[in-house]
Structures are given as structure tokens and as C-alpha cells.
Chains A and B, each alone.
Chain A
């Protein structure tokens, strides 16, 4: 059999005889993209149930509450009259955030004694805390600057001057690449890649392993041709699945894509090759088909979290960095996101090179292992 005949036979197995394989390979990345696209559609944790405890009840304090209510992030569910009520709401999960305005709020401001607004958030889910952090400070600061301005105007300064003296240093923050902190922009590319990896690993696990029982089918076919021929269709279909999930996240979930398509394809192709190579290695080396699918688990499942895509490399200790270095996802997910959000991925070519070398080495090792075991079985 030639290389192409081996590949064609495997393709037939994937799509006709054992359709589950193609379904896993293509289905998982697509389903994951859709499922997670749906979850993160809103992009920010908005409408956080908020309870307001206004101990002042003056026009000024009420306009501060209004400032929170006007924000999409906060959904004021109740105005309460006591500290106990605040705690009850938070404890019972009826509110995640509480805004507490002290008594004598207006009076203290007018007297120049200063005052403090307390915002309480339940930190058991950090996403709430993050959403509060990225919004509450600004609301209060803006409000405060406006109030300060009025105060100093009362002393007889011109409005602009007054503003400059109250908040002399204007602070502009420009967030590049994801200015709206859209969660889907942050996460979808990586989750799709993770789904792709999972689909490939689950589909490929039996590919080489099952042939140990069927060596008669492969008389006269060299191990190289067998291994490469069988793995090739997984690479080709894997790349197709990659394209499909990218199309889904860009066109259905409106993720930006600012980079070059060629760079994206190279990155995707190199990644799929590396995952195929890893899967092939486990398939060649595992004692039986069950182990072939179960052994790689500890390697695949933590991949997204260890890749630096979510928890950044700069926050990792040495052990985590080391583990992260042996995962293909580490060399692809961040690059794809950079290509999408900023149009430029500084480590793209370095990472593609690493993935390529990694793939070649693993494919060679897989072939060697397969050849050795095959001759052992054939002798027996």
C-alpha cells in the first residue's frame, strides 16, 4: 500500500466504518465553540444584584445611588434601612453587591470634613469582584470630582480651574486589544483550541493501537508509511475543524480578527500537527486501547489552565512554567488570541518552530515504538 492508500483507508474508517471518530474530531470543537459562545455572550458580568443602604437620604446621596443604578453593571434590587438587612441580602445570595452611604454624607461634604462610600462585594466568585473593581471606583470618582468642583466653585474659582485643582492629574487608561473587557474575546479562542485538542486526542487514541491486533492487514507496509499514513487524515480533518471553529467564533460570536489569515493557518496547522503527534505517541505506546485514551488525560485536561492563556505565565512558579512548556496549547492559544485582538503575535514564528520540532520528534518516536512492538508481535 502507498502512503495515500493508507491515508484513504483511515479516512474511510473515520467517516464510514466508525463514524464516531469523525464526530468526535469535528464535533467537539464545534460544540464547545457554540456552547461557550452562548455562555459568554453578554461579555461582562452585568446586572449584579445590588442592595443600597443610604443612611443619608438627601438629594446628593440619592444621586449617587442613581449613578450606580444607571450603570449596566448594577441592578439595584432593594433599598434597605439597616446594616442587618444588608448582611441578610448578601448572606442569602439575594445580592452580590452592597453600596453603603454613611449618615451625614451631604453635611460632611459641605463642611469639608470628607466622607466615604463603602462598596461591599462577595468575593467568593472573583468575577463579581472583578466586575465591581472595574466599574465602582470610576462611578464614585466621577461623582466625587463633580462634587469637589461644586465645592470649590463656592469659594469663587472658575469651573475649569476648579476642576484642575480638585483633580489636577487627569488619568487616562487606555486598554488595548480588548477595551471593553469583553469576556468572550478573552476566552473563546482558547476554549475552541482546547476543544480541538480534546477532539483530536479522543479520536486518535485507537488509531495505531488497534493495529497491533491486526498486523496481518499490513503486510508489506513499512511502519513509517503506516504511522504517517494513518495519522495524516487526523491532521487534515483537524485543520478543517480548526477553520470551522474559527469561522464560528468570528462570524457567529463576532470576535474580531485583525491578523493575517496565513499566520492563523500556520499556527493552527502546527498546533494540530503537534496534538496529532502526541496522540499518536500515546496510541503507539499504550498497552491497550483503553489505556490509549485514558493515559493522556492528565496531560490534556489541565492544558488550558496551564497554557498561560488564562492564568498568565508571569504569575506562574517554576513548576507550572515547566509543565506549561510541554503542552502544545501553550504555543498556540495566546498567539491566536493576539492575532485576533491585536493583529500581531510577537512569538508566533518562534512557537510554530517549536511545535514543528516537537511534532517531528514525537512522530519519529511513535514510528520507532510502533516498529519495535510490531516486530515483537510478528515474531510471536
Chain B
């Protein structure tokens, strides 16, 4: 068979005979972008239920509570009148944060004595805890500064000066590339890339494990392998572009970098994954086995890729393992190009993927030609 014949044959299988391959190839990352776009659509955690235990009940304490009520991050769900009630709200997860204002709060402050507000938060879910930490401190600092300002005024300072003596060093945080800390922008892209990988793997696996190599008796191994893999490579690129388009147009995820760079790294990734899939197929008995292997592979590869937990925060064994996964060289770059407009490791990673893909392809060539020859010689001896 010539290349075009192999290619067309594969297309027919992919779309007609075993069309679930097309579903996985084109569907996986698209479905995941939509699914997780919907999940993270809210973007940030707001309206954390909060319970208030105000033992002071003065204008000052009420204005402090008002500061929290005015904030989008919190939703005051109850005012309680005892410590036990407060603890019970937290324990039952009816509230995740509790604000406790001590008695004599206003009086102590006016007398120049310290007064201690307690914010208790349920820290089991770090995302909620982070939300509470980042917002509560801010609210408290603002409130405290304005109270302190009026206090220091009593020592006989002018208003502006007094504020600056009270809280002389202000702190400003600037978050580049994701200023509202939206999990939507952060997470959806990574998950879509993992799904892309899964879709390519499953479709290639299906192709390789169901192949009767008989038909390739008179075909050059390189022609066979290229003809079989290229449809999945092209389909993967198409699927990847579609997923990115949906992410940008459908969910408003920004794309601040060069589209060509995105396509380039997507193409190289898709090629390497397709070849990797063909190698994986060699060690699996059948399509069921291949599915089991590839499904087990996806999540660890994603976690180790450094996309979420950064590589430098892992130990050397883990980073060594991470270096073996193609997604390590791709997902973070896609995220950085889209959210930051630049990815420092881009060309190095593209090169690594390309080199890896090439090496894997050569190995696959050898192994598949041996496999085809074995089948032929076995059939011949069977005939005899």
C-alpha cells in the first residue's frame, strides 16, 4: 500500500467503521472545556457563609460587621449569642467563617486599650480558607486604619499625617496575568490539555490494538506508521484549536499571546502523544487493556506536569518523573501564552517534545515492523 491508501483507510476506520475514535479525538478536549468552563464559571469563591458573635453591640461593632456584610466575599447567615452557638455553626458547616467581637470592644478602643477581634475559619478546604484569609485581612486593615486615624487625632495631629503614622507602611499586591484570581482561567486550560491527550491516546490505541497487520504485508513500515498516525495527529490539532476557541469565545478566557505559538506547541504535543500511544498499544493485549492503562496515566501525568503544583516545589525524584511526561512540556506553556502572553521555556520545550517524538517514532518503527514480520511468519507457518 502507498501512503495515501493507508491514510484513507485509516480515515474510513476513524469516521465510519469505529466512529467512537472520532468521538474521543474531537470530543474529549471540547467536552472538557465546556464542562469545566461551566464548573468554574463563577471564577471566584464568594458569599462564604459567616456567623457573627457580637458581644459588644455598639455602633462601632456594628460598623465593623457592616464592613463584612458589604463585601461580596461574605454572606452573614446568622447572629449568635453564645460561643457554643458559634462553634456549632462552624461544626455543622452551616457557616465557614465566624466573627467574634469581644465585650467592651468600643470602650476599650476609646480608652486606648487593645481589643482583639477573632475570626475563626474552617480550613479544611484550602480554597475557602485562602479566600477568607485574603479578604478578611484587607477588610480589617482598612477598618483598623480608619479607627486608628480618629484615635491618633486625639493626640493633636492633622488628619492625613495621623493616618500615615498609624499605618505608615501600606501594602499593595499586584497579581500579574490573573488579577481577579479566577480559577476559571487557571484551571480550565490545564484540564482541556489533559483531555486532549486522553482523546488522542484512546483513538490511537483503538486503531493500533484492533489492527490486523496482515494487510500491511507489502507496505513499508514507515509508510504504515505515518499513514495510520497522521489522521490522529491532524484530528488532535483540530480538536485542540476548537477547544481553545471555545475557551476564548465561550468562556472569555483571554488569549494574550501568539496564536502561531499555540498551534506550534499543540501540533508537536499531538504528534508526540500519538506516537506515545502507538508504543503504549504494543504492551497492551487489547483495547480494554489500553483503555485501562491510558486512563490510569492521565491524572498523575497532569499533577506531575507542574501545571498546578509547581515543579520547583517538588523533590528531585518527582521532577525526574515529571520530565518523562509530554504534558509537562506543553500545558504550562499553553496557559502562560494565553494568560501572560509569553512563556519563558517555550522554544526549549517545543524542541524537547520534537526530539522525544522523533526518538519514540524511530522506536515505534522498529517495533512495529518486527510485529508485522512476526505476524506474517506465524501465518506462513500456520499455512504450512
Contact = CB atoms under 8 A, between A and B. Distances in A.
Interface of A: 20, 24, 28, 31-32, 35-36, 38-42, 45-47, 49, 64, 90-94, 109, 112-130, 132-134, 136-138, 140-141, 143-144, 147-148, 151-152, 155, 157, 161, 163-179, 181, 183, 186, 194, 198, 202, 205-206, 289-291, 293-294, 297-298, 301-302, 305-306, 309-312, 314-317, 319-320, 334, 337-338, 341-342, 344, 346-347
B295 interface: yes
Contact of A112 (B91, B118, B161): B161
Interface of B: 20, 24, 31-32, 35-36, 38-42, 44-49, 90-93, 96, 109, 112-130, 132-134, 136-138, 140-141, 143-144, 147-148, 151-152, 155, 157, 161, 163-179, 181, 183, 186-187, 191, 195, 198, 202, 206, 287-289, 291-292, 295-296, 298-300, 303-304, 307-310, 312-315, 317-318, 332, 335-336, 339-340, 342, 344-345
A114 B145 CA distance: 12
B68 to A, nearest CB: 12
Contacts of B114: 163-164, 168-170
B126 A119 contact: no
A157 B112 CA distance: 11
**Would you list the 6 A-B pairs with minimal beta carbon distance, nearest first?**
A114-B164, A123-B178, A93-B344, A144-B169, A178-B123, A175-B123
Contacts of A137: 134, 137-138, 141, 171, 173
Contacts of A169: 109, 114-117, 140, 143-144, 147-148
27 contacts: A20-B289, A36-B300, A39-B309, A39-B318, A90-B176, A121-B174, A123-B175, A124-B186, A125-B308, A125-B335, A133-B133, A144-B169, A164-B113, A168-B109, A168-B112, A169-B115, A169-B116, A169-B143, A175-B120, A175-B129, A176-B124, A178-B129, A186-B125, A301-B298, A311-B40, A315-B45, A320-B38
Given A42-B313, A120-B176, A176-B122, A167 B148 contact: yes
A92 B296 contact: no
Nearest to A172: B118
Contacts of A118: 172-174
Contacts of A167: 144, 148, 166-167
Contacts of B48: 314
B288 A289 contact: yes
B88 to A, nearest CB: 10
Contacts of A119: 171-174
A306 B170 contact: no
Contacts of B336: 124
A346 B136 CA distance: 26
B144 A171 contact: yes
A60 to B, nearest CB: 10
A115 B118 contact: no
